[in-house]
Amino acid sequence: MELQKTTEAIVTLKQFDLSKNNAFTPFVKWYLALAYLKKDQKENAMPLLKTLSQTENPQQEMARKLLKELE
Protein backbone atom coordinates (compact mmCIF):
# COMPACT_ATOMS: atom_id res chain seq x y z
CA MET A 1 0.00 0.00 0.00
CA GLU A 2 2.85 2.33 0.79
CA LEU A 3 3.97 1.97 -2.80
CA GLN A 4 0.53 2.97 -4.11
CA LYS A 5 -0.18 -0.61 -5.18
CA THR A 6 -3.46 -0.96 -3.34
CA THR A 7 -4.99 -3.54 -5.65
CA GLU A 8 -1.94 -5.76 -5.31
CA ALA A 9 -2.03 -5.29 -1.54
CA ILE A 10 -5.66 -6.43 -1.43
CA VAL A 11 -4.84 -9.54 -3.46
CA THR A 12 -1.92 -10.37 -1.18
CA LEU A 13 -3.80 -9.73 2.06
CA LYS A 14 -6.79 -11.79 0.92
CA GLN A 15 -4.51 -14.81 0.63
CA PHE A 16 -4.21 -14.85 4.42
CA ASP A 17 -6.73 -17.13 6.14
CA LEU A 18 -8.72 -14.62 8.22
CA SER A 19 -10.52 -17.42 10.07
CA LYS A 20 -7.26 -18.28 11.82
CA ASN A 21 -6.93 -16.30 14.98
CA ASN A 22 -3.22 -15.72 15.42
CA ALA A 23 -1.02 -12.72 16.18
CA PHE A 24 -1.07 -11.52 12.57
CA THR A 25 -4.82 -11.70 11.95
CA PRO A 26 -5.78 -8.30 13.44
CA PHE A 27 -3.08 -6.55 11.42
CA VAL A 28 -4.07 -8.27 8.20
CA LYS A 29 -7.71 -7.31 8.78
CA TRP A 30 -6.72 -3.72 9.58
CA TYR A 31 -4.59 -3.23 6.49
CA LEU A 32 -7.11 -5.01 4.30
CA ALA A 33 -9.83 -2.67 5.59
CA LEU A 34 -7.61 0.35 4.91
CA ALA A 35 -6.88 -0.90 1.40
CA TYR A 36 -10.60 -1.35 0.72
CA LEU A 37 -11.29 2.17 1.94
CA LYS A 38 -8.54 3.54 -0.28
CA LYS A 39 -10.27 1.85 -3.23
CA ASP A 40 -13.67 3.30 -2.15
CA GLN A 41 -14.96 -0.15 -1.19
CA LYS A 42 -16.50 0.80 2.13
CA GLU A 43 -18.88 -2.17 1.97
CA ASN A 44 -15.88 -4.53 2.16
CA ALA A 45 -14.05 -2.57 4.84
CA MET A 46 -16.89 -2.15 7.32
CA PRO A 47 -17.27 -5.83 8.34
CA LEU A 48 -13.55 -6.09 8.98
CA LEU A 49 -13.54 -2.92 11.09
CA LYS A 50 -16.60 -4.07 13.04
CA THR A 51 -14.96 -7.39 13.83
CA LEU A 52 -11.78 -5.64 14.93
CA SER A 53 -13.69 -3.19 17.11
CA GLN A 54 -15.62 -5.96 18.89
CA THR A 55 -12.72 -8.23 19.84
CA GLU A 56 -9.72 -7.53 22.01
CA ASN A 57 -6.70 -7.01 19.76
CA PRO A 58 -3.96 -4.43 19.10
CA GLN A 59 -6.07 -2.68 16.43
CA GLN A 60 -9.31 -2.53 18.41
CA GLU A 61 -9.22 1.12 19.43
CA MET A 62 -8.11 2.35 16.03
CA ALA A 63 -10.89 0.33 14.40
CA ARG A 64 -13.44 1.87 16.78
CA LYS A 65 -12.27 5.38 15.97
CA LEU A 66 -12.32 4.77 12.24
CA LEU A 67 -15.80 3.23 12.42
CA LYS A 68 -17.12 6.31 14.20
CA GLU A 69 -15.69 8.52 11.46
CA LEU A 70 -17.21 6.38 8.72
CA GLU A 71 -20.71 6.02 10.21
Q: What are 30-53's pLDDT values in tens digits?
A: 999 999 999 999 999 999 999 999
**In a domain? residue 16:** no
Give the residue numbers spanning the domain of 29: 23-70
- Please report whether residue 8 resides in a domain: no
How many angstroms from the chain centroid is the CA of residue 54? 13
Q: Which residues of 39-68 are buried (b: 16+ CB within 10 A; e: fewer)?
A: eeeeebbbebbebbbeeebebbebbeebbe
Total tally of structural domains belonging to the chain: 1
Would you state the pLDDT for residue 46? 97
Geometric angle at alpha carbon 43, from 2 and 41, rounded to 5°: 35
Q: What is the mean pLDDT of the chain?
A: 94
What DSSP state is assigned to residue 71? -
Structure pTM? 0.91
Of the pLDDT bands very low, low, confident and very high (cuts 50, 70, 90), residue 57 is very high
In a domain, 17, yes or no: no
CB 26 within 8 A of CB 59: yes
CATH number for the domain that contains residue 65: 1.20.58
Q: Given this model, what pLDDT does residue 20 score?
A: 86
